[in-house]
Amino acid sequence: MPIDPPPPGDRASLAQEKARLRGEALARRAGMGDAARAAASAAAAQRVPAILGPVSGAAVALFAPFRDEIDTAPLAALLWEAGATVALPVIVGRDTPLLFRRWRPGDLLEPVGAYRIPTPSPEAPECRPDTLIVPLAAFDRRGHRIGYGAGHYDRTLAHLRARGPVRAFGYAFACQEVSSVPAEPHDEPVDGMVTEADHLLFGG
C-alpha cells in the first residue's frame, strides 16, 4: 500500500527521528568491538542460504563493508562456492541509481570516492543483480531500513523493481534493530533481513 506523503512540517520531524535512530544504532554497532563483529559476520553469513535458497547461476549483489559495517567477505565465499555470480555496487552520481560490476575471487578492489570504499575495476563487467544484499544503519521488523542519508539504495531498488522482479535483503548486526523506522513515500522496503541472530521475511 502506498504511503501518503507527510505534511512539510512532519518531514523535518521524520528526518530528525531517523537521524536519532541512525546515531543510536551506529553507536551500538561501534561498541561491539572488532572480535565480536568478526564472529557475528561469520555467523550471519551462515544464515543467508536459508533465506536466499539456491543461488547457482543467480547474480547476487553484496556491498564492501565501510568502517565497522558487517563484513561481507564470509558471505561472498559462500556464494562463490554455491555457484552465484557476485557483484558490488559502483556509485555513478549523487542522484543516479547504483551500477553493479562483477566481483570474482582474487579480483583487486580499488578505493574510490571520498570514503575510499572498495570498488571493482572499471574493466569488470556490469551485472544486473537478481538479489541485493543491502547495507543499512538501522532496521525494524516491518521491512523498513534507515540508510546513511544519500538515498542510493532507495533509488536503486525503485529503478530495478520498475524493470522486473528483484529481491532485496537487509544485512546487518542484530544490535542495529530498532522498534520502528518512520517510513516515507520514497523509502524502499526490503523483502527480508539477516543478522547473526535471526533471519526474517517480510510481506508474506
Average pLDDT, the chain: 92
| Interstrand relation of 131-134 and 59-61 (parallel, antiparallel or unpaired) | parallel
60-112 pLDDT, tens digit each: 999 999 889 999 999 999 999 999 999 999 998 888 999 999 999 999 999 88
C-alpha dist (Å) from residue 132 to 34, 58, 90: 25, 11, 13
What confidence score (pLDDT) does residue 137 get? 97
Q: Please tell me the distance from the alpha carbon of residue 20 to that of residue 12, in angstroms, as a whole number.
A: 12
Pairing of strands 59-61, 85-90: parallel
> Which residues are annotated binding-site positions?
18-22, 69, 145-153
Q: Which residues are annotated as a binding site for substrate?
A: 69
Instruction: Please answer whether residues 71 and 78 qualify as being in contact, where contact means their C-beta atoms are separated by less than 8 angstroms.
Output: no
Q: Please tell me whether residue 2 adopts helix, strand or coil conformation.
A: coil
What is the pLDDT at residue 64?
A: 95
**Distance of alpha carbon 48 from alpha carbon 32, whole angstroms:** 21
Q: Check whether 5 has a pLDDT greater than 80.
A: no
CB count within 10 Å of CB 165 equals 7
pLDDT over 90 for what percent of the chain? 80
Residue in the structure block whose three cell numbers are 549483489:
61
For domain 8-201, say whether CATH 3.40.50.10420 is its number: yes
Q: Is 29 helix (H, G, I), strand (E, B) or coil?
A: helix
The reported pLDDT for the residue numbered 6 is: 47
- Estimate to the nearest angstrom the gap between the alpha carbon of 74 and the chain centroid: 15
Q: Which residues are annotated as a binding site for ATP?
A: 18-22, 145-153
